[in-house]
Structure 1
Amino acid sequence: MSMNRPVATALAATLCLLTAACGASASDDKASDSTAGAAASKTGYPVTLDNCGQKQTFEKAPSRVVVMNGASVAEVSTLLALGLGDRIVANQQGYGRSEVPGRAAAIKKLPTGDVKLNEAYDIPREAMLGLRPDLVLSVTTYGFDEKNGFATRDQLKEVGANSYVSPQGCDDDPSEMTVADSYRLLRDMGKIFHVGDKAEELIAASQKHIAAVSEKVKGGKKPAVMVLFSNMSMGGNDFSSVVANGIVNDILTKAGGTNAFSNTTKGTFADLSKEKVAATDVDAVVVIAYNDPNPAAYARKLLKEFPQWPAARKNAYVTLSDSMYLGPSNDLAVERIAKLLHPAAF
């Protein structure tokens, strides 16, 4: 007996409903898995990252990103470098300056979420949850510490938001940070937002630039450099914002220099007396500006205060900002410092 296709289909459906005997076959399962795998391959999702001991799974690219302050611009600069500024619904980072043309202005234009900040100049728990983020970026785990009034990573997960702590921020100790950590941040954001090709392009360009600069200064004398933040106090001594360890040392090495105060502490910052600073030979000074409109004035004042330094006799200083710390522009700092330390090589 012949049967037209619609009737046959209806009958098959009726038999399935009556007998519950129409489970998918093994071949159907394989086909379904294959289809799902192909879809995942095409979209790049899901993506899972192990971040500070927590697995964060992204089913799609985040569209409501909150960037916490943390006295950094690493995260917001990385997102902008990757062309992801339109994903940011609230940004609290900003130095007011940048070695990248237009970046400081671009950061200033980003939305802040119009939230009332806490005493740490960052986003408290209730305000954070009210922003309805799907990704929150923090420099260190401090930004997710409940004791400080912040939303925890678990609380964010409960409202559907992933969280990310930047490289070397898991134990809140950036003293071991290197330029490789800046590349890791780029790669991680590339994976999360499915712009890995762009991230690798930026990394390759930075590596090529640094390699070319390092080659020019290779084998030469390694001047001793003082790196410090301008007009900033972090301790009890006269010079408490001297950077002794961390990514700055990797940048100095690549630029053909050394940190004059790296042996004064194992931590990131050295809290130094004026006597200790005066007794150290400093060949050049790098002043990092954090919301300082005139870091050059600070540098000149510093050199005048210590006329015995070789740096003072040569007026050897450079002012930098975001390129000296975690972020996508470390190659610019390497070049600027190398030109200061080894002008004849350029």
Structure 2
Amino acid sequence: MNRRPARTRPRATTRTRTLPSTLAALSAIPLALTACGTGVTSDPSNPQGPEETVEVTNCGRKLTFDTTPENVVGMMPSQTEMLIRLGLQDSLAGQAQTDVSTLPEDIAEKAADVPVLSTDAPPAREDLLATAPDLVVSPTEYEFTAEQGFASIDQLKENGAQAYVATGGCADRRNTAEVTDVLTDITGLGAIMRVPEEAEELSAEAEDRLSAVDDAIEGSQRPSVAQVYVEGESLSAIGAGVEADIIKRAGGDNVFDPEAPEFAEFFAAEINPEEIISRNPEAIVFGVSGPAQEEETREYLHSTFPDVAAVENDVLIAVSQADLHPGTLGNIDAVETIAEELHPGAF
């Protein structure tokens, strides 16, 4: 396979071991949700009022909003970005986990004055509650784990706040999440925050970008792809969740089966290098937190898999780890990046 310079099968039994620390943090999340449903009803106590009651089903919970939330917290840059792109920067009372990824340049300035509640982990319970939020938007349910010292969903409710979790990050949806789940989040947050026109515009733009990829790669041969995460000498295969759907939407054929037992309870499984060698993928996709990890991962892949087709042909595709999180517009960025590398002649 020929490819442009990088930007930024035999069946074997996968042996699951202990996950690397970065992915293991997510394993505390019970597995992920149902699609979000929205509804709008008139408030009988104020039939002439400017606002109507909005009901949203999220992670199996019914959220009811009689008024528009005024103090909103984005628990990850991905959620903060979506809120800003919906025109809601003036409603932001806090942003969290800001070192996980940087906001896109075109909106970064709009978050400059938003208080930072945490940098590399969810905010402590007292720090989050101190902002007096009425809505907290999160990529997963992990951010509400009381045992970790975070404010639980019940504790937020006791303090007058409701939690909205990205559809793809809800516990019973995490392993079957799809890229298009982000459209559900746009619609849901647009309804909650009473900005339906902005939500419709943002959703249409996202759909157009996905459709453009579909059109470009239609009829193309689907190369085999292994999606991995490397931390030190630890190697994990990504076989399910929105991560796997990103590969599918980008026109790749994942060498790991999301229905396999090793992915029944979590979207990733630590593997031995032999699992990659036996499948001999034509491309390897890997998530990184920055340039240093990208360089380290490339060195690891070249030294560990010199005879694997993806390495021999240098089809090693790095994507931002943040773009693989549930509920982020970055999922679409990842689809575009991977598709252009897998099908360079189509773009």
Q: TM-score, normalization: structure 2? A: 0.75
Partner of 1:293: 291
Whole-Å separation in 1 of the counterparts to 2:297 and 2:225:
13
Quote the Cα distance in structure 2 between the aligned partners of 1:318 and 1:101.
Answer: 23
Task: Report the Cα offset of residue 58 of structure 1.
Answer: 1.8
Aligned length: 299
Aligned to 1:10: none
Q: Which amino acid aligns with 1:36?
A: N
Quote the residue 1:169 is aligned against: 169
1:251 matched to 2:249? The reply is: no
Sequence identity (%): 31
Are residues 333 and 103 of structure 1, via their aligned partners in 2, closer, same or farther at CA, if it must alter by over 3 Å?
A: farther
Higher relative contact order (CA 8 A, sep 6+): 2
Counterpart of 2:231 in structure 1 is: 232
* CA–CA distance in structure 1, aligned partners of residues 128 and 331 of structure 2: 30
Give me the whole-angstrom Cα distance separating, in 2, the residues matched to 1:204 and 1:50. Answer: 22
Q: What corresponds to 1:85 in structure 2?
A: 89
Shift of the 145–339 alpha-carbon distance from structure 1 to 2, 3 Å rule, reads closer
2:98 matched to which residue of 1? Answer: 94
Matches within 5 A, 1:29-178: 36-39=46-49, 42-43=50-51, 45-68=52-75, 73-94=77-98, 97=101, 100-102=104-106, 110-113=114-117, 121-171=121-171, 174-178=174-178
1:210 is displaced (CA, Å) by 1.4
Q: Deviations over 1:56-88 (max 9, x none)?
A: 2223222222233xxx54322211221223322
CA positional deviation for 1:222: 1.0
Please, what is the CA RMSD of the aligned residues? 3.0
Higher share of residues assigned helix: 1
Distance 1:195-1:226 versus aligned 2 partners, 3 A rule? same
CA displacement, residues 121-176 of structure 1 (integer Å, 9 cap, x when unaligned): 32233333222111122333333333333333233223221222221433265111
Partner of 1:320: 319
Equivalent position of 1:329 in the other structure: 330
Deviation at 1:97, TM superposition (A): 4.5
SS at match of 2:55: strand
Query: Aligned-pair distance for 1:178?
Result: 0.2
Q: Partner amino acid for 1:47?
A: V
CA apart distance, 1:219: 2.0
Alpha-carbon deviations, 1:90-145, whole Å to 9, x = none?
A: 211335546944456766764214x6x9xx93223333322211112233333333
The CA deviation at 1:179 is 1.3
Say which one has the larger Rg: 1
TM-score under structure 1 length normalisation: 0.75
Letter of the 1:59 partner, please give it.
Answer: D
Deviation at 1:269, TM superposition (A): 0.6
Farther off after superposition, 144-153 or 301-310: 144-153
Structure 1 pair 53/245, CA: closer, same or farther in 2 (3 Å)? closer
Does the 8 A contact of 2:169 with 2:177 survive in 1?
A: no
Q: Secondary structure at the match of 1:50?
A: strand
1:209-236 Cα offsets, whole Å, 9 max, x none, are 211221221222111222234x537xxx
| 1:170-223 CA distance string (max 9 Å, x none) | 326511110121111111111111112111211111212211221221222111
Q: 1:244 corresponds to which letter in structure 2?
A: G
Gapped regions of structure 1 (runs ≥ 5) = 1-31
Render the CA deviation track for 1:265-322: whole Å, top value 9, x for unaligned: 32311211122222221211222222x2334413431441212122112211232223
Contact 1:287–1:295 (Cα < 8 Å) also in 2 = no
Partner-residue secondary structure (3-state), 1:282: coil
Q: Which residue pairs with 2:283 in the alignment?
A: 284
Tell me, what secondary structure is at the counterpart of 2:226? strand
Cα contact 2:288–2:294 (8 A) shared by 1: no
Aligned-partner SS, 2:62: strand
